[in-house]
Amino acid sequence: MGKKHIVQKTKEELIKEREKIEAASKKEIKIGALQKIKEGKIYISSSYNNTIMTLTDPSGNTLTWTSAGNIGFKGTKKGTPFAASKVAEVMAQRAQKLGVERVEVYIKGIGSGRESAIRSLANRGLDIIAIADVTPIPHNGCRPPKVRRV
């Protein structure tokens, strides 16, 4: 295979990267500070493997999101109710930073973290206006396979 060449960045390149990251985070904070959105929508996608939460403004534009994997859970622990409650706590903190006080909650999926996520949102001080289950349900299912002829 040969020797691997490791590229080392200079101090100037590292400083430029850090400035870009700080500018992006300041821009995100400024957007939230200028608008001061009072209401929002939280979409919870709860599967067997993970719990993902997205906070949007009333028109549906994403403000912030987080998931169990994003927080630091790995493997099968991402699908647990405990991980979902931690995700909800982080989401509530971010919503309060953005100034969102009242939320509508839309739940999708059949994971084990559905109820614990809603409880954590309510316990963290968010005013929940409505809860809706938007899990897709098949009406007639897919077409059955042909009859096997031997």
Domains of the chain (ranges; CATH) run 36-133 (3.30.420.80)
Task: Write down the pLDDT at residue 34.
Answer: 47
- CA-to-CA distance for 112 and 2, rounded, in angstroms? 49
Q: pLDDT, tens digit, for every residue of 17-74?
A: 778 777 766 655 555 444 578 899 999 999 999 999 999 999 999 999 999 999 999 9
Region of 31 on the Ramachandran plot (φ > 0 left; ψ -120 to 50 alpha; else beta): alpha
Provide the mean pLDDT of the chain. Answer: 86
Percent of the residues in the chain that have a pLDDT greater than 90, as a whole number:
59
Cβ atoms within 10 A of the Cβ of 131, count? 15
First to last CA, the chain: 54
- CA-to-CA distance for 50 and 67, rounded, in angstroms? 7
Q: pLDDT, tens digit, for every residue of 68-117?
A: 999 999 999 999 999 999 999 999 999 999 899 999 999 999 988 899 99
